[in-house]
Amino acid sequence: MVRSSVREERHSLPHLADKALKAAAAIWFVVAVMGQWMFVAYIVSFYGGAMAQGDLARWNKVVSPGYIRGDRMGNFALALHLFLAVIITVGGPLQLIPQIRARLPLFHRWNGRMYLLTAFAISITALYMVWIRGGIFGNFVQHIGISLNAVLILFCAAMALRYALVRKFGVHRRWALRLFLVVSGAWFIRVGSMFWMIVNGSSAGFHPEMFQGSFLDFLSFAQYLLPLAVLEIYLRTQDRAGAAGKFAMAASLLLLTTALGLGIFGAALRLWLPYI
């Protein structure tokens, strides 16, 4: 009788809904991390390769402003920002993998400290490049969007640290998830713009070379606000929804994963692989 009841519980609708939601979230995460690490490969190959060869002017092929002769502080800020982007994009996902957290707690703690420190530093360098160095691509609206992203990174990092220090690890993990998404804003805008181009068959709503236009004005905020909104819906569904709600959320995540995969494919072909 006991074994029979256990089998029934494992095959009950609520249990299947929990498994479906967990699986859909895991699939989204794997696809996102694969795409982010492709982005890292591009940064290391193109920017790192140019630096290793002493040809920093090559940066100007894909970023504005890139290397500026005589601008030591600005060039250093950009190089540091790129270096930090590699660290945070590689180390961030590792913080969210339960098996690593459970089996390698010391690594989790030290990687987490590095992750938070990098989050603070990368936000400061981004604000410096937008408002002090100047000349960065986009218009004033996009600069506001980038700046709000930096502020949210600082806030989420501070909240994740706060709850880790008081050992409220459930709340800490949720702030770590939010931090992961806002840190990924620069990646999301690239993937999102490429998804838009694939769906429309053209760069409707923005100029792909100047990187300006109404759609990019929208995307400069949606790059982090939309993922945060989806995360909040997911967390509330996980906590409170019944089986139907969890199945619906799982289906929505799979649909979003498909869109994400298309965007990654487009970004890889157009933005990354040509420079690797």
Residue at 191 is within a domain: yes
DSSP codes of every residue in 194-207: HHHHHHHSS-TTSB
Q: What is the pLDDT of residue 243?
A: 95
Residue at 46 is within a domain: yes
Residue at 71 is within a domain: yes
What domain range includes position 250?
Answer: 19-275
Q: What is the pLDDT of residue 3?
A: 52
State how many domains the chain has.
1
Q: What is the rounded CA–CA span in Å between residue 94 and residue 81?
A: 20
Mean pLDDT throughout 114-137? Answer: 90
- Which range is least confidently modeled, 55-59, 171-175, 231-235, 254-258? 55-59
Mean pLDDT: which of 9-13, 141-145, 181-185 is highest?
181-185
Q: If pLDDT is split at 50, 70 and 90, which confidence band does 9 have? A: low
Residue at 8 is within a domain: no
Q: What is the pLDDT of residue 211?
A: 67
Of all residues in the chain, the percent with pLDDT exceeding 70 is 92
Tokens of 259: 């869109």
Residue at 3 is within a domain: no
Under 8 Å CB-to-CB from 196, ≥6 apart: which residues? 203, 204, 205, 215, 219
**Mean pLDDT computed over every residue of the chain:** 90
Residue at 13 is within a domain: no
Residue at 60 is within a domain: yes
> How far apart, in Å, are the Cα atoms of 82 and each of 16, 156, 174, 250?
43, 21, 26, 34
Q: pTM of the entire structure?
A: 0.90
Mean pLDDT throughout 132-141? Answer: 80
Residue at 12 is within a domain: no
Mean pLDDT throughout 127-152? Answer: 88
3-state DSSP of 50-80: HHHCCCHHHHHHCCCCCCCCCCHHHHHHHHH
89, 187 contact by CB (below 8 A): yes
